Amino acid sequence: MVSRTTDDYEMLALAGCEVLCEPAFWAGFDRSSAAGFYDYFRQLTEYEPKRAAKYGIKHYCWLCINPKEADDPVFAREVMALIPEFLDCPTVLGIGEIGLNKNTRNELAIFEEHVQLAVDRDLPILIHTPHLEDKLKGTRLTLDLLASFSNLDRNKVIIDHVEEHTIAPVLDAGYWAGMTLYPQSKCSLSRAVDMIEVYGPDRLWMNSACDWGVSDPLAVPRCLQEMKRRHHSAADIQRIAYQHPKQFLSQSARFQP
Ligand SMILES: [Zn+2]
């Protein structure tokens, strides 16, 4: 939402959205200093909740340094050192979106340190998987890394941006899987409904790609329309749109929809 206008908040409210969560992510540019992230974390924890509240929407967030800016481990650790003071904010749900971008060693090291931070504080984890040609390898590396944590509660982990070739290993390993909907590239509405029909709906949810590029905050309600068109029952639609996110996010004591 940090890269969207107030019109988007209004449209979300009109579509019936009452609660949203926003991951810390790559905001369309590389920040030049850790101080840039300090301001960003304040934006996520102080300003966006107020902006959303004007439209009757509760705004929650996840914190981390995203994988795209985490390839310099010295810089990444400077940013990570800022995170603990924000973890006490009442709208911070957990650590995310962490993970891999280009599947580098440095990204893996910082990813592992974020998972450790979440495990130490018993927080839910939101994981980004790489796009396009890096996705399959990145998902495998992600699953291997997570498997090395013997005390990780897999029910508290959602692996996001799954596609047809990565959804099964994620669900089979006991994690939640997120389908991120895009208007043009990557996972379309009809592909998401295909995946619900083939693999779902257990531990599956969907979210709207909503950022600085071509994306649509209303992708989720549009996908619910697609489910309706394909004769999914009202109960099934309600389950994937509302009950699943609520079930997963309620693992954070902070989440009070
Ligand atoms: Zn992502």
| Mean of all residue pLDDT scores within the chain | 96
CA of 225 to the centre of ligand 1 (A): 24
| The predicted structure's pLDDT at residue 185 | 79
CA of 231 to the centre of ligand 1 (A): 30
Where do runs of H (alpha helix) occur along the chain? 6-14, 34-42, 48-53, 73-80, 83-86, 105-120, 135-147, 167-172, 189-199, 219-229, 234-238, 244-249
Determine the average pLDDT of the residues in 95-105.
97
CB atoms within 10 A of CB 168: 14
| The predicted structure's pLDDT at residue 132 | 87
| The predicted structure's pLDDT at residue 190 | 96
CA of 187 to the centre of ligand 1 (A): 12
For 161-190, how does the pLDDT look when each residue is reduced to its tens digit (9 = 90+)?
Answer: 999 999 999 999 999 999 999 988 789 999
| The predicted structure's pLDDT at residue 200 | 85
pLDDT band at 153 (very low <50, low <70, confident <90, very high): very high
For 110-135, how does the pLDDT look when each residue is reduced to its tens digit (9 = 90+)?
Answer: 999 999 999 999 999 999 999 989 99
For 202-257, how does the pLDDT look when each residue is reduced to its tens digit (9 = 90+)?
Answer: 999 999 999 999 999 999 999 999 999 999 999 999 999 999 999 999 999 999 98
User: What percentage of the chain reaches a pLDDT higher than 70?
Assistant: 100
CA of 101 to the centre of ligand 1 (A): 9
CA of 127 to the centre of ligand 1 (A): 7
For residue 11, pLDDT over 90 is answered with yes
Of 197, 176, 184, 194, nearest to 244 (Cα)? Answer: 176
CA of 197 to the centre of ligand 1 (A): 24
CA of 89 to the centre of ligand 1 (A): 23
**Which residues, chain by chain, have CB under 5 Å from ion ligand 1?**
97, 128
CA of 239 to the centre of ligand 1 (A): 23
CA of 161 to the centre of ligand 1 (A): 7
- Check: pTM over 0.95? Answer yes or no: yes
Q: Domain 6-249, what fold?
A: TIM Barrel (3.20.20)
For residue 90, pLDDT over 90 is answered with yes
Of 80, 79, 76, 65, nearest to 26 (Cα)? Answer: 65
Domain boundaries, the chain: 6-249
